[in-house]
Chains A and B, each alone.
Chain A
C-alpha cells in the first residue's frame, strides 16, 4: 500500500528565498508523480507532472525532481513570493488504474 509523506508539514520564509519541499513514497512502482498547490477554500491546481522515466521537470520558478528508486521527489521554488503561499501536495500515481495517492501536504507561508 502506497504511503506518501511530505516534509516539512509547514514552512514560513521571507520573500525572495529559494526553498525545497520534500515528498517521499513507499512504493517505487509508480507511473508518474504530480505536484499540486491548494489555496484556502479552493480546488487543486496542477503545477508539474513528472513521468517515471524523467528525472526532473521545470515550469517557470518551479523545478521538480524525481528519484523513483529511492522513493523521493522534491519541489524547488526559486525566489519565493507572497503569492506562492498555499498548501503544496505531491501525489504519485501507480497501479493498473494509475490512481493518485496524496501526501499530507506542506503549508507554505511566504512573508512580504
Chain B
C-alpha cells in the first residue's frame, strides 16, 4: 500500500536529453509538491499544486515544467538536461497546505 510513489526510481541520461518523472499518491490529498535534494543533501521546494492549480513556483529554470493531470498525480518534465540537474527529486503530498506532508521514495537523476 504505497502512499506516495514515484517512477522511475533511478534515471541515468545524457546532457541535452528530455526526461519525465511521475508521481502518484493514493492518500486522497489535494496538494502535491516537488522537492530537489542536491549532492550536499540540502532539500528545497521547487513546485506545489493545490487542486491542480500551481501555488508554489520557486526560482527554477524554465526547463523544468510540472504538470498535474488530476489531484492524485504530479509529473515533472525536464528539458535539455544539464549536469547540474543531477540530484534526488522527491514528490510529496498533503491535505491542504496546512497539514503534514508525506514524501515519496525519491528519483535519483544522474546526468552524464
Distance in Å: Cβ of A1 to nearest Cβ of chain B:
12
CB <8 Å contact, A44 and B97: no
CB <8 Å contact, A104 and B42: yes
A104 to B41, alpha carbons, bound, how many Å?
A: 8
A42 to B37, alpha carbons, bound, how many Å?
A: 12
List, in ascending order, chain B residues with CB within 8 A of A93's CB: 98
Give the dominant DSSP class at A's interface: strand
Give the interface centre of B41, B42, B92 by most chain A CB atoms within 10 Å: B41
Distance in Å: Cβ of B8 to nearest Cβ of chain A:
14
* Count of chain A residues with a beta carbon within 8 Å of a chain B beta carbon: 22
A55 at the interface (CB under 8 A from B): no
List, in ascending order, chain B residues with CB within 8 A of A105's CB: 41
With A97-B48, A104-B42 in contact, do A43 and B90 touch (Cβ < 8 Å)?
Answer: yes
Distance in Å: Cβ of B36 to nearest Cβ of chain A:
11
Distance in Å: Cβ of A86 to nearest Cβ of chain B:
12
CB <8 Å contact, A43 and B98: no
List, in ascending order, chain A residues with CB within 8 A of B98's CB: 31-32, 93, 98
A25 at the interface (CB under 8 A from B): no
A87 at the interface (CB under 8 A from B): yes
**Cβ < 8 Å to A, chain B residues 28-76:** 41-45, 48, 55-56
With A44-B103, A46-B102, A49-B100 in contact, do A102 and B48 touch (Cβ < 8 Å)?
Answer: no
Distance in Å: Cβ of B59 to nearest Cβ of chain A:
12
Starting from the known contacts A31-B98, A98-B97, A99-B56, 13 additional A-B residue pairs (CB-CB under 8 Å) come to A34-B100, A43-B103, A43-B104, A43-B106, A44-B43, A44-B92, A45-B103, A46-B101, A46-B102, A93-B98, A99-B48, A100-B45, A105-B41
Q: List 6 A-B contacts (CB under 8 A).
A: A42-B105, A43-B4, A43-B90, A43-B103, A44-B103, A49-B100
